[in-house]
Amino acid sequence: MSDDSQIKNLGGGSLLIAWQLKYKNVLIVGGGEVASQRIQSILNADAKITVLSPERGLHPHTKHFIELRNDSIIYLDRSFQGPEELDHMDMVLTALDNHDLSRRIVEMSRERRIPVNAADIPDLCDFYFGAQIRDGPLQIMISTNGNGPRMASLIKTRLQKGLSGVEGQAIVKVGQLRNKLKERAPGVGGQLGRERMKWMTGLCNEWEMEDFTFLDETMMERVLDEGWERGKRVPKREAVGIRRKTSSSLSSILSPILPAAIAFVAGALTATLFLTYPRRK
């Protein structure tokens, strides 16, 4: 597809963003299983949560969150009372079986310009949650734009199988290294900012993901000494003390060459038999 065709066909999706909710106030109306899923997602964003639901409607997971995270969750044992429940809220989520009440809460939220999500009613939502993969700072969201939550879950499973499990730790180490680089070469934007970005990009392109997981404080300083301070080059892994773990098992050594070796031996054996077997006259 040409660039012009791609531009003409843009549309039909949602804007996927990483919404910063740290210290923001989020109201969750409902206490069932969906509410517990919402609580987990919002806790990951370090927000302040208010859960509004009669105790009889609390799912065991929701109760568990409320008991263990009273530092971030305020629980109110009652049903939604009216517009005053929305005072001082930065986001509203409904997780109710009562769609009429959900619609009224959405309307109230819109009147106050508060972003709102109504579970299982996509046409009322300002945003969707989607299936998420989390590994420390690594966050991957799969959204079907409200069309197929189960499909999003299946795609999530496929993507998880393609991850090695070291990505989150590697990203943490890269972030720490970037901060150390900024301490050595402080400043925002401009030529220096572009040079920092170019150097970090080159490092990430040339090193393997798992290489970053080996870095400790001393190694990070060595990376900067051997790389940034010496003409902004990418240092060799060995030069900073990274030694990858290798398997010493015989199978791991032979596995790449075993098929060729078998073929060679089979060919040699066939030739030997052909040359030595007595021929009929």
User: Is 211 in the active site?
Assistant: no
In degrees and rounded to multiples of 5, residue 69 shows phi and psi of -125, 50
Closest C-alpha among 126, 203, 214 to residue 169: 214
> How many angstroms separate the CA atoms of 166 and 159, rounded?
14
| pLDDT at residue number 3 | 83
Could you tell me how far CA 204 lies from the centroid of its own chain?
18
Categorize the per-residue pLDDT at 12 as very low, low, confident or very high, splitting at 50, 70 and 90. Answer: confident
Closest C-alpha among 113, 88, 93, 23 to residue 51: 93
Query: What single letter denotes the amino acid at residue 178?
Result: R
Q: And the tokens for 76?
A: 């109110």
Residue ranges covered by each domain of the chain: 25-129, 130-163, 166-240
| pLDDT at residue number 215 | 96
Name the active-site residue from 120, 126, 135, 225: 120
- pTM over 0.85? The answer is no
Q: And the tokens for 113?
A: 């310009």
Which superfamily does 25-129 belong to?
Answer: NAD(P)-binding Rossmann-like Domain (3.40.50.720)
| pLDDT at residue number 261 | 46
| pLDDT at residue number 279 | 47
Res 23 pLDDT > 80: yes
Average pLDDT, integer, range 200-216: 95
Res 134 pLDDT > 70: yes
Average pLDDT, integer, range 104-123: 95
What does pLDDT average to over the chain?
Answer: 87
| pLDDT at residue number 209 | 94
Directed axis angle between helix 33-44 and helix 60-68, to 10°? 30
